[in-house]
C-alpha cells in the first residue's frame, strides 16, 4: 500500500528531486522540453519553489518516494502568465529553454481553481495505483474546499486516469511546437 501525504517544506527537497527526476525522465512534456539539455539546476530550483510556495503531494512505498505531484491554488491565471514571462525572458539568454517557455505559456482558466501542475510516478511503480492514490488524497481536500481543479493531460493513459476521477475535456487539445506532445486540458468542477 502507498502512503500519501503533503510535503510542507524544503526539508525533503533532497529526497524529492531524484524521485521526481526519475519519474519525469520519460514523461511526454518533460522529455520533449528538455531533449538534449541538462536542466538539473533549473529543475531543483523549480521544486524548491514549489515546496515553499505551492503544494507538493508525494506517495511513498516502504519509505521511498514513488510519486510526486505539484498543485497550485489560483485565483486567476495571472501567476502562470508571470511564470511564463519569466521563463521566456530566461529563454532569450538560453535558447535551450525555448521549449520550456512554450510548455509553461499555455492557455489557462482565469477563474479561481486548483491547478495540478504536474504529477509523475517512478517507472517501477506505474500501473499500481500510485497516481490514483495521490488524486484521491488531494481531490478529497479540493472537494471539501469546494475547489474546481484544472490540468493538462500529456498522454492518453494519463487522460484516462483523470477522467476516472471526474475530469472532463475543457477545450481543444493544445499542440506544443516542434512536434511536441498534444495536451488535453481537463476540468473537474467543484461539488
CATH number reported for the structural domain that contains residue 183 in this entry? 3.40.630.30
Residue 46 has a CB neighbour count (10 Å cut-off) of 21
pLDDT of residue 127: 92
Question: Smallest Cα–Cα separation from 23: which of 69, 82, 67?
Answer: 67
Q: Which domain holds residue 51?
A: 3-188
List Cα–Cα distances, 150 to 38, 185, 187, in angstroms: 29, 7, 5
The residue written with cell numbers 518516494 in the block is: 65
pLDDT of residue 13: 93
pLDDT one-digit tens code per residue, 72-128: 998 877 777 777 677 667 666 665 566 666 665 677 888 999 999 999 999 999 999
User: How many domains does the chain contain in total?
Assistant: 1
Residue of 161 and 10 predicted with greater confidence: 161
Give yes or no for residue 8 having a pLDDT over 60.
no
Rounded to an integer, the average pLDDT of 61-69 is: 93
pLDDT of residue 75: 86
What does the longest C-alpha to C-alpha distance in the chain come to? 46
List Cα–Cα distances, 130 to 120, 135, 186, in angstroms: 9, 9, 20
pTM summary value: 0.87
Amino acid at each position: 500500500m502507498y502512503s500519501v501525504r503533503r510535503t510542507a517544506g524544503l526539508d525533503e527537497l533532497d529526497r524529492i528531486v531524484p524521485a521526481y527526476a526519475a519519474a519525469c525522465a520519460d514523461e511526454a512534456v518533460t522529455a520533449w522540453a528538455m531533449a538534449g539539455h541538462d536542466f538539473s539546476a533549473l529543475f531543483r530550483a523549480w521544486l524548491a519553489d514549489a515546496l515553499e510556495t505551492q503544494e507538493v503531494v508525494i506517495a511513498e512505498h516502504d519509505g521511498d518516494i514513488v510519486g510526486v505531484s505539484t498543485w497550485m491554488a489560483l485565483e486567476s491565471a495571472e501567476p502562470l502568465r508571470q511564470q511564463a514571462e519569466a521563463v521566456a525572458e530566461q529563454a532569450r539568454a538560453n535558447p535551450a529553454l525555448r521549449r520550456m517557455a512554450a510548455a509553461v505559456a499555455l492557455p489557462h482558466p482565469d477563474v479561481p481553481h486548483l491547478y495540478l501542475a504536474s504529477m509523475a510516478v517512478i517507472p517501477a511503480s506505474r500501473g499500481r495505483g500510485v497516481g490514483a492514490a495521490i488524486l484521491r488524497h488531494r481531490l478529497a481536500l479540493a472537494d471539501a474546499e469546494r475547489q474546481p481543479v484544472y490540468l493538462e493531460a500529456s498522454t492518453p493513459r494519463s487522460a484516462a486516469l483523470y477522467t476516472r476521477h471526474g475530469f472532463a475535456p475543457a477545450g481543444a487539445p493544445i499542440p506544443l511546437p516542434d512536434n511536441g506532445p498534444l495536451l488535453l486540458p481537463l476540468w473537474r468542477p467543484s461539488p
